[in-house]
Every structure is written in structure tokens, then in C-alpha cells.
Structure 1
Amino acid sequence: MTASLFAGSPLAVNVLDTQSLLSAFGVFGIAVVLFAETGLLVGFFLPGDSLLFTAGLLCTGSSTGRLTLSLPLTLLAAAAGALVGAQCGYLIGRKAGGALLARHHEGRLQQGAQRAQELLDRYGHAKAIVLARFIPIVRTVLNPMAGALGVPARTFTLWQCVGGLVWTQGLVLAGYALGSSIPNVDRYLLPLVAVIVAVSLAPLALELRRARAAGRTSKNGIDR
């Protein structure tokens, strides 16, 4: 069965399970999930990386399951959801300011906000906006933070488009390339998704490690 925009029944969908999402909503679900993850703070927990990679695998038609996605529609839906979502998050930040994040007390969101601020301070607007696309949670909070901090709209729009296209198209095509080279690739889907999640979390883990090391160095300097 080929899925164009919708697929299956959404009655028993698990939003944390990429196959469940894709089976229920097809490529339409990709656009909605990426919009929520990159544009709305409530979407920070959604599985953007693994969803894109899995969608790419399912575009090959080589899986043992019934669901096959259209590669052009998948690429289009992924780009639309990520780009429109990020722009929406930026506009929300411009309107609501820092009060938006202050009202959210979820620990991971606050950590993500701290990482986003560090990225902006360390790398500048352009590089931080692109890098944030590849870091879970940070890609959710950086967009409204950029709006709240007054990042110029033209700068934000240009670089969020660059980062969004590299992130979405890259992961979908990576999944497609792997699925095209391995028969019945969905047999290995769970370990593959686990690897993608681990790789996507690596930049955040490195940033946390660097921050802790810098904190220890600063503390030792004060003690001396």
C-alpha cells in the first residue's frame, strides 16, 4: 500500500512511535509533528529525528510491511513542517518575549533554553540557528528565544531555512539510501532508530559536558 497524504486509522496512534504515526497519518503526520516540534514548546518531546529517518526508509518500498511513502511528498512535507514551524516559533517569541519560556517549568525545556542561549552566545546567530536543528529540545526552544532576543527577522528566516532543509532532507535521504541498499530493512528498524536518537543526542551531551568542565574550571580558579 502506498501512502500519499494520509494512511491507516488515527484512532490508536502513539505519538512517540514513528511507525504508528506514519501508519496513521502518512506524510501529513510528518508535517504536523515537525511543525509542533519546531514551532510549539509543547512539542519538545516529539521524535523529529527518528521520524524523518524512518520515513526515508519507508519511501524505498523494500520493507516487509504494507506502508510505503512517496519520497517527493515526504521531502516536501518534512520541509514545510520544519520551516513553517520554526518561523511560527520565532513570531511567537517576538510577540510573547521571555515570559513565554518563564511560564514553562519543565526541566528539559529549561535545560534546552540554556543550551540555546549558549549556542547563540558562542556561535552567533547564523551558526547557532543551523546547529540547533540537529539538537533535540534545543531546536524547539531556540526559535522562540531568537524572537524574544530580537534576532533580525531576515537573518533568522535565511538561516532557519538553511538549517531546516539540511536537517529534514538529509535525514530523509539518509534513511532512503540505507533502505535502498538493505532488503527488508524494517527488520532492523528499532536498532537503527536507536542509533539515530543516540547520534542526535550526542551534540547536547557534548555541550553539557563542556559546560560542566567550564564550571569546574571556573570554580577551581575562584577557590585559588
Structure 2
Amino acid sequence: MIDTVLTWFALYGVQTLFVALFAGQTGIIPVPTTIILLTVGTMLVDKTVAPINVFLSCLSGAILGDQFGYAIGRAGGPAFAAYLADSRWGKMFKRAEMYSLKWGAIGVFFSRWLVSPVGPYLNYLVGMTGLPWLRFTIMSACGEAVWIAGFLAIGYGFSASITSIDSLVANVSFFIGGLVATLFFWSRVKRSLAKSKAGKRL
């Protein structure tokens, strides 16, 4: 998949990235979008294409993919939710549902880059639950911009020192996983301290 996208990128330019990001954000086609961004980031060192053109093509494709999911969710409603729950995407849809219940609207922003696997399925879910379109669009666009700019920059910055894109992906995934674990641990510590203080007052 990645080799195909990169070949098309070399032949047809940034339009290929637009299509790849759109397809990936719909969740219908399993496109390794994060790895594509990292790989394209390493290619920006050659300066054969303007980074701003790459960024805008990726961003517009990702936002349009988000809008597609939101619109389908809004139009389909409960019937579409039942279809997703029973389909091969059911497990990921359940994860998106639990994530949405916990984080609400701000979760759309974080799902674009911090927990990106649930992002495409969250689009359908928030469309079904009636999250206002403008709020969704703002959160989606800001999150996608962070995700795309961040991973293109990481690929660009590490292009001279990595031996393979797989090692970079592993390191980035480890960092993000560590960050999430740290935030989770810190929230539990704060909750425990709050309960301890409340108990002392009683």
C-alpha cells in the first residue's frame, strides 16, 4: 500500500496524498496514513515539491474525509450505528464510542493525532449523536493540522539519521504510548490525592 501511494505520488504529485488522506480518514479503506506522512516527510529533504503544497493537500484530504464520515453519520442515524456495530469495524466503533463518552467534543481534536486509530470512526459517531457541525469542523481541522504538520516534520527532521521508516514509526509510537500512559497515571494520582484530602476533611 505505501509503495503504491509513493509511486503515485512520484507520478501524479500531491493529488495522490489528497486521495490517500481522504480514503484513510473515512475508515473504509485501511490506509497507513501516519506512515505515509512520515515517509513523505523524509522525501521533503530533496525539495522536489514545496512542503506547503504537501501540507495543504494532506490537510484538505483529511478534513474532507472527516466531513464525509460526519455527514454519513448524521444522515444514517441509529440504523447506521447498528450496521457499524455488526460489521468488521464493530470493535473499533465501540472504542470510538467509549472514547467519545469520556472526552466529548474535545475528543475530536485529540482523536486526530493522539489516538488517531479511532478518529475515522468517531466522525460517524459524533455525526449520529448530533455534535454541532461548526464545532466538529473546527476541532477536526485543528487536530488534523497538528497531526499532519507534526508527522511531516518528524519525517523531515529524522530523514538523515534513520535507517528505515519502520524504526521511526516504532520510536514515535513508543513516545506517544508513553505520553498517554504518563497522562493517565498522573490523572489517577490527582484523583487519589483529591480523595485523600476529602477523607481528611471528613
- TM-score when scaled to structure 2? 0.76
Does residue 195 (structure 1) correspond to residue 180 (structure 2)? The answer is: no
* Alpha carbons 1:30, 1:81 under 8 Å: kept: yes
For the 8 Å contact 1:49–1:196, the answer to whether it is kept is: no
Q: 1:198 and 1:22 mapped to 2: Cα distance?
A: 25
1:29 partner letter: T
Q: Which residue of 1 aligns with 2:108?
A: 129
Provide the C-alpha distance between the structure 2 equivalents of 1:85 and 1:199, rounded to a whole number of angstroms.
Answer: 27
**Do structure 1's residue 151 and structure 2's residue 131 form an aligned pair?**
yes
C-alpha distance in 1, partners of 2:82/2:175? 29
| Equivalent residue for 2:21, pick from 34, 40, 43 | 34
Indicate the SS of the match to 2:21: helix
Residues 59-98 of structure 1 mapped to structure 2, 5 A cutoff? 59-61=44-46, 68-98=48-78
Q: Shift in Å at residue 198 of structure 1?
A: 5.5
- The AA in structure 2 aligned to 1:119 is Y
Q: Equivalents in 1 of 2:55, 2:65: separation in Å?
A: 15
Match of 1:137, SS state, is: helix
After superposition, the Cα gap between the structure-2 partners of 1:199 and 1:101, relative to the gap in structure 1 and judged at 3 Å, is farther
| CA gap 1:98/1:199 in 2 versus in 1, 3 angstroms | farther
SS in 1 for 2:93: helix
CA deviation string 1:4-34 (max 9, x = no partner): xxxxxxxxxxx2x2x4311223422221111
What is the alpha-carbon distance in structure 1 between the residues aligned to residue 53 and residue 104 of structure 2? Answer: 34
- Which residue of the other structure, out of 141, 145, 150, is the alignment partner of 1:165? 145
* Contact 2:42 2:155 (C-alpha < 8 Å) held by counterparts: yes
Q: Which amino acid aligns with 1:41?
A: G
Picking from 15, 23, 36, the partner of 2:7 is 23
Q: Judging changes above 3 Å, is the alpha-carbon distance between structure 1 residues 148 and 118 closer, same or farther for their aligned structure 2 residues? A: same
Give the TM-score, by structure 1 length.
Answer: 0.69
Q: Which amino acid aligns with 2:146?
A: V
Change (3 A) 1:193 1:99: same
The answer on whether the counterparts of 2:38 and 2:165 sit within 8 Å (CA) in structure 1 is: no
Name the SS of the counterpart of 1:117 in structure 2.
helix
Q: 1:58 matched to which residue of 2?
A: 43
CA gap of 1:122–1:137, structure 2 versus 1, over 3 A, is same
Q: Which has the higher helix share?
A: 2
- Label 1:22 to 1:196 Cα distance change in 2 as closer, same or farther (>3 A): farther
Separation of aligned partners in 2, 1:145 and 1:27? 30
Residue 102 (structure 1) shift: 2.6
Distance 1:120 1:193 in 2: 26
5 Å-filtered alignment, 1:87-126, equals 87-104=67-84, 105-107=86-88, 109-125=89-105
Give the Cα–Cα distance (whole angstroms) in 1 for the partners of residues 42 and 28 of structure 2. Answer: 27
Unpaired runs of 5+ residues, structure 1, are: 1-14, 63-67, 211-224
Looking at structure 1, the residues matched to 171 and 4 of structure 2 have their Cα atoms a distance apart, in angstroms, of 19
CA RMSD of aligned residues (A): 2.6
Aligned residue pair count: 177
1:65 maps to: none
